[in-house]
Amino acid sequence: MEFLPIIDPASADASECIDRACREVGFFAVPLPDRLAQARVELLDLAAAFFARPDIDKARSSMERGGHAWRGWFPLDGELTSGAPDHKEGYYFGTELPPDPRAMHGPNLWPDEPAALRPAVTEWMREMEELGQRLLSAMAAGLGLAADFFARGLTAAPTCLFRIFRYPPHPQRATASWGVGEHTDYGLLTLLATDGTPGLEVKSRGEWHAVAADAGLVVGNLGDMLDRLTGGRYRSNAHRVRNHADHDRYSLPFFLDPGWDASVAPLEFDDGWVTPLDTAERWDRADLRHLDTMYATYGDYLTAKTARVFPHLPPPRT
């Protein structure tokens, strides 16, 4: 099996193939639907136009203006992973909501220019949520669960987040830093589209692998909550990025996460599966089996994690 299995979600054996990839690799890819090929190009062009504007213009949509909703733009080196600045700039979006006292809830911040970014992002998020729910349905079937297990439970009202990241060429001698450092995603499923520039590396079975760049694919990687839910069958593998190209690298990660108030309890399987002891292997040393002793809901977990990413921002409220 190729390191990054490419799976057609419409194939008759999609559930079996996704299940095998999640157990053996922890990442997989699906072809970008044909109807979204032009939408991806247009979204990347709009993103490049926004990031090319002067910082003083982009700052009108800065995350500082978004308050506890944590929406908006952040500058190069403005986000931290494990306390170290990531060599990227980005823009945070989420489901468009009215003002809300909860962390990471509320309206998005949209730039004046390019004005077309708003409808492009909104439509992309809608399409990615639909694709993500379809893939989760296939995962449920692979786990021996009802196909609507996620849709009627954890993702009935999902936490949907979206980012646009620009990774400039990495400084040649900056071998101790990363475009984004080693980490795992927090939720269930991340769907990543890119401009086709290499840079993504993933860790599987203790070894780092470069992921071949292909603008025609959407990479699916698994989050901590899917790892916890499945008792480690589906592992939230670590990944990182460093752009060695001589031009910018753009990525479009969409996060399909459990509902904010959902409690993610491990499933019980009847085949004798025993959770591997992986705490010492994780980048953050977290024990996903015992999160319920610290966090009552997914929102609690996400808030605690993201508070370390932008320590200069007002802390999100629960």
Question: pLDDT by residue (tens digit) across 174-213?
Answer: 888 999 999 999 999 999 999 999 999 999 888 899 998 9
What CATH number does the domain containing 160 carry?
2.60.120.330
Residue 23: inside a domain: yes
In a domain? residue 226: yes
In a domain, 317, yes or no: no
Range of the domain at 188: 14-306
- Region 230-257: mean pLDDT is 95
| Structural domain contains residue 198 | yes
Query: How confident is the model over 41-73, as pLDDT tens digits?
Result: 999 999 999 999 999 999 999 999 988 898 999
The mean pLDDT value of the chain amounts to 92
Q: What is the pLDDT of residue 1?
A: 37
* Cβ within 8 Å of residue 159, ≥6 positions away: 94, 95, 104, 187, 255, 257, 258, 259, 260, 298, 299, 302
98 belongs to a structural domain = yes
Dihedral pair phi/psi, residue 184, rounded to 5°: -115, 155
Query: Residues 273, 233: contact at Cβ < 8 Å?
Result: yes
Residue 3 lies in a domain: no
Q: How many distinct structural domains can be found in the chain?
A: 1
- 92-106 burial string, b = 16+ CB within 10 Å, else e? bbbbeeeeeebbbbb
Tell me the C-alpha distance between 296 and 298, whole Å.
Answer: 7
Residue owning tokens 């969409």:
254
Decide if 209 is inside a domain.
Answer: yes
What is the band of 299 on the pLDDT scale with cuts at 50, 70, 90? very high
0.75 surpassed by pTM: yes
Query: What is the per-residue pLDDT for 269?
Result: 82
- Among 39-43, 130-134, 244-248, 276-280, whose mean pLDDT is lowest? 276-280
Phi and psi angles of residue 133, each rounded to the nearest 5 degrees, phi first: -65, -35
| Phi, psi angle pair for 122, to nearest 5° | -60, -45
Q: Could you identify the residue written with the tokens 């970014």?
A: 117
Asked whether residue 276 is domain-assigned, the answer is yes
37-51 and 117-142 helices, crossing angle to 10°: 130
Report CA 43 to chain centroid distance, whole Å: 17
Nearest CA-CA partner of 188 in 274, 298, 107, 291? 298
**Which positions ≥6 away from 9 have C-beta within 8 Å?**
18, 30, 131, 134, 135, 138
Angle between helices 117-142 and 14-24 (to 10 degrees): 90
Please give the share of the chain, as a percent, with pLDDT higher than 90.
Answer: 73
